[in-house]
Chains A and B, each alone.
Chain A
Amino acid sequence: MSHLLEVDDVSKSFGGHAVVRHVSFVLDAGASLGLVGSNGAGKTTLFRCIAGELPIDSGSILLDGDALPSRPDARARRGIARTFQIVELFGGQTVLDHVLVALQAHQGHQGPWRDLVHGGRTSSGERERCMGILALVGLADRAETPATTLSLGDRRAVELARALVGEPRLLLADEPSSGLDGEESRILIHILNRVRKETGVAVILVDHDLGTVKAVADTVIAMDAGAVIAAGTYETVVSNPQVMSSWLGQSS
């Protein structure tokens, strides 16, 4: 049986500077993986390669054993959703609008013909589905609120709802606890684990907060200077001498 995601010998450089070097790993359906490493280790670049925002120089990325389309929107519709380190919301749209945009894009219900036929109205089924996802991330009571007026934690939840409404197979969460305080991080971890449990989505998580990684990820990969330096359970990786050396600058 093939894995959900197969990243095989992927490399990416910018102007001759190798940012991701020969990275390989696999991820099974429903599993979760934490990517850790210092700033500049290549985590976000790897993320962007998987999401289709950057073309890879060499190697391959397969989903369910199949090659992925090149454009990020096509990958999103194939089942790869993502959230962003710096939240990317649609200013002026409500929380519900954010989820509707994604839902209609995934269902192929987005376009002028549909608008002309339905007079631009949203169906009750679509609305119910969106409200269900918003309930999952704890935003059902703020569906009509302009998303940019929410707190950072809630804005991250909006991104999460937008990512999940298309029923992705894989969720790429880029530093979801960045900028959140302890309580907000705890709520976010709770939401992520609940989402995993209820939807069965596989998660790749990049985060500097090791507590978040430990709480969400089944396995962890540590990166340094674009290459994988350790992989395994959280405990194995954080106690790896090479990882210690990379993070703390120790020789052993």
Chain B
Amino acid sequence: MSEFFSFVLQNVPWGCTFALVAVGLVLTYRATGVFNFGFGAEAYAAGLIYAELYWHGVDRLWAAILVVVVIAPLFGALLDWGLFSRIPPGNSMAKIVTSLGVMVVLPSVVQIFVGATNVSAPPAPLFNEYLPVWHIGSGPLFVSGSELTTMLATAIVLIVLMLGLRSRRFGLPMRAAVESPKLLELMGVNAKRVSRGSWMLATMLAGLAGVLFAPTETPISANNYSVILVAAIAAAALGALRSLPLAVVGGVALGVVQGVVQGYVASDSVWYQALVPSLPFFILLVLLLVHPGMRRLENRNDPMSGVEPPAPPPALALRPPHINRVIHRFRWLVLGTVTLVVITFTPGPWIAALTIGASFSVIFLSITLITGLAGQLSLAQAAFAGVGAATTAQLAVNENVPVLIAAVAGAVVAGLGGWVASLPALRLRGLPVTLLTLCLALLADNLIFPTSWIGGGDNGLNVPRPHIFGIDFTAVDSKPFLLLVLAVLLAVSGVVHVLLRGTTGRALAAVHVSPVGAASAGVSVRRLTMFVFFLSAAIAGIGGSLFAMSYLQESPSDFNWFFGPTFLVIVVTVGATTVEGAIEAGFGYALIAQALTYLPSTVSTNTNATQGALTVLILSVGAFTYATHPEGIVEAVKRSLARTVFRAVPANPAERRTRGVS
């Protein structure tokens, strides 16, 4: 029994870390209406700056104060001014996309500009790291300086925030600004200032969490912060993202339960390696399914929402027909010319990059379907690609199934995974669906891909390429294989294009905008949701298989969970509502990465990690314009160009009539 209590007490500080981040998430959500996926990235940046300041000779306490009290709030004000204040209160999708943009872009920015990939952990801002050992009951209790600081900070933050949010002077305007900024302004309160203050406070908390977590892991890595963030989401979900005390209880309980399980399970068992890290995701999954508060997250009705301009409609409908016409008329010519040039003149490394780009394009088309058309922000598309790749590899390597048939099977298995995901998604809408898909991606990453009978173990599996008609596809820079992948891309594009412009696209767009209206029109929301989850996952599975064949290898980390949000942000940035948007994003992702390898080796930041970060940054930064350009920034530029070129002919038929153009 004393062993049990020892496990419990030892893990309270770890739970306090979850609790602190969970409190930050709840505060951000209550005070700004944004579920801040970027919280972990903000904490990472703060932790890194704190460490850099300390290692450059600044006193640790002053460094912490500078980061938490000055830098973090200023960054919060910048986030509000530059991004979140520009999103209409009712546009919850734009809020999620923008915060995902922060999550993906900020670590890349830090990596590029701070250049820090190997910064050692600094000491905690208070206390010595090695405190006297306390004895409770029969066992010793080790509490380090950083743990004691975290526990104290959690307690203080909880008390201050609970009193603050309840107060009429601070808490009431904050909560009111989330519900209806316009109504608050009618009461004579400057809603913008309230919102800015909320963001400064929320980012300050991220800064505090970052500073307090920095001493616990060395080197400081963005991934550790992301893992803490996801675990904290489960803690925050206990109170439906609204209750601060429950978030703290959830955080501490999660840390303790994880510690106790860890204490009793043998460290070399699969349970230890898979179950313990996955516990928070299981808990979040269960809470999403059974907690009524989590299902009702999106039910917020601003009484003044009618005063706001309506959210921009889905992009396809407003696209000037001239662009479509130009694309339709010249697509075969452009495709043929590009293919000919590529096959004839392109050097080897670029052939490989194009092959990877075509594989990514197929994966990204799955996002076009589920996000661009159905309006569901799925963070699990990379995981479905991984399922497709793993199935293909297992069947082809261990069962000797021809690899193309194995790829079809991989698509079906991934599609079934998508169908299973759709079942809980039927009861959810908006943010909870995003969280659900995040959970699934994390569970796949922790439970499915590391197993040898699925992901092939630590080293993965060698994936063969097909042998058809005696053609050799096996060379890394094989042009026939590029042609094969392009043919698959063309076929998948055709299917997605037909669905986009057909009855399915129209019905999905209707369900996206107004599920109630669509149901009243007889549209089966249930059937369509299940179908779109199935098909998008199957398409991602095909892309994953092609990707594995391109690299001639499948490994468990190829599609780790962070690729989910990264892919989503990239596609949304380029254009999630058109087929060519996904294709441009896929090739852009691969070709920019390839181009960056030509950076002079004298550039100090020219490492693989930095190149990857730069690629993501270049392609993702446009996500911050999602509120004004839901069609994607590249798509918006295309339209702007088309408007300039076709200025003489109005795009809208009604406008055409008004202006007397036949």
Contact = CB atoms under 8 A, between A and B. Distances in A.
A120 B505 contact: yes
B498 A105 contact: no
A207 interface: no
Interface string B306-329: 000011011111100000000000
Contact of B317 (A71, A92, A106, A111): A92
B517 to A, nearest CB: 3
A145 B654 contact: yes
B interface: dominant SS: helix
B314 A149 contact: no
| Contact count band on B | 35 or more
Interface stretch (B12-20, B24-32, B330-338, B521-529): B521-529
Nearest to A119: B498
Contact of B504 (A81, A112, A121): A112
Nearest to B505: A120
Interface string A63-98: 000000001111011000110100011111110011
B655 to A, nearest CB: 9
A97 B506 contact: yes
Nearest to B527: A111
Interface string B496-514: 0111111111110110011
A220 B608 CA distance: 75
Interface centre among B311, B503, B504, B652 (most CB of A within 10 A): B503
B526 A90 contact: no
Nearest to A91: B313
Contacts of B518: 73, 90, 101
Interface in A31-66: 51, 53
A149 B654 contact: yes
A110 B518 CA distance: 13
Contact of A120 (B315, B498, B520, B535): B498
Interface of A: 51, 53, 71-74, 76-77, 81-82, 84, 88-94, 97-98, 100-102, 104-106, 109-112, 114-116, 118-122, 142, 144-146, 148-149, 159, 162-163, 166
A31 B497 CA distance: 45
Contacts of A115: 498-499, 502-505
B516 A116 contact: no
B653 A144 contact: yes
A151 to B, nearest CB: 13
Given A88-B520, A90-B513, 11 more contacts: A53-B516, A89-B513, A93-B513, A102-B523, A116-B498, A119-B502, A120-B505, A121-B502, A144-B654, A148-B313, A163-B520
Given A90-B509, A142-B654, A105 B516 contact: no
A91 B522 contact: no
A159 to B, nearest CB: 8
B345 to A, nearest CB: 34
B531 interface: yes
Given A114-B502, A120-B499, A148-B313, A88 B516 contact: yes
Contact of B506 (A71, A100, A142, A146): A100
A91 B513 contact: yes
B519 interface: yes
Contacts of B500: 120
Contacts of A91: 310-311, 313-314, 513-514
B317 A146 contact: yes
Contacts of B495: 116
A89 to B, nearest CB: 7
Contact of B507 (A72, A110, A118, A148): A110
Contacts of A122: 503
B534 to A, nearest CB: 10
Given A92-B317, A102-B522, A118 B502 contact: yes
A89 B514 contact: yes
Contacts of B497: 120
Contact of A77 (B498, B503, B522): B522
Interface string B466-506: 00000000000000000000000000000101111111111
Contact of A105 (B318, B501, B502, B524): B524
